[in-house]
Every structure is written in structure tokens, then in C-alpha cells.
Amino acid sequence: MCADRGPEGSTRSRTVEGVKPARRPRFLPFILTGAVLGFAVGSALALFGWFADPDPTVASNYAPTAGAGYLGVIGALLFGLLAAVVAVLVDRRADRS
């Protein structure tokens, strides 16, 4: 009879049962959520005219939707980066517990 086996030849592990590994955040949903929110915020800033020049001296050749697209993409990049940093911080916090 093998010394590692318990009674009746069972092959049960000697490790503790019922211990679950720490839950880790999934990075892609964090980043995508941040990017979508950033695009919405950037587009809102452009479309509602919060950055509009009140007294333009030179006429613009760009459509308002182009400005919304540009600020939306910049907002998506910034908020996606911020969300990635938050995900890393949450992941590090999970390592401590």
C-alpha cells in the first residue's frame, strides 16, 4: 500500500479544499467601458459648444460633427487609459488580500 493514499486506496489530495483564488478584474471590459464613456464625454463637450469660440475671427471649414469626432476619440483614449490604470490598481489590491 502506498503511503500517500488514505484508507481504501483513495487518491484525495492533502491540500485544503474550498479555498477559492482571488477574483481578478478583466482588463478589456474596464478599458472598453472607459473608452465608451470618454467618447460620450468628448462628443458632448464638442456638440454642446463648451469649447466653442464665442467670437471667431476666422471661419472654420470643419463641420460640428468633425469636432465631436475628434474630441470623442481624444476622450476615448484618455478615459480608456484612466480605466486601465484603475484596473491595474484593482488587480494589485486583489494581490494583497
What confidence tens digit (pLDDT) does each residue in 31-83 have? 999 999 999 999 998 888 777 777 777 777 777 788 889 999 999 999 999 99
Q: Would residue 12 count as lying in a domain?
A: no
Helix spans in 1-97 (H): 27-47, 64-96
Q: Would residue 86 count as lying in a domain?
A: yes
Q: Would residue 45 count as lying in a domain?
A: yes
Q: Which residue in the block uniquely carries the three cell numbers 466653442?
A: 52
Please state, in angstroms and rounded to a whole number, the distance separating the CA atoms of residues 54 and 57.
10
Q: Would residue 16 count as lying in a domain?
A: no
Total domains present in the chain? 1
> Domain containing 65: what range?
21-52+61-96
Q: Would residue 5 count as lying in a domain?
A: no
Show the CA angle centred on residue 65, arms to residues 64 and 71, nearest 5°: 95
0.85 surpassed by pTM: no
Q: Would residue 14 count as lying in a domain?
A: no
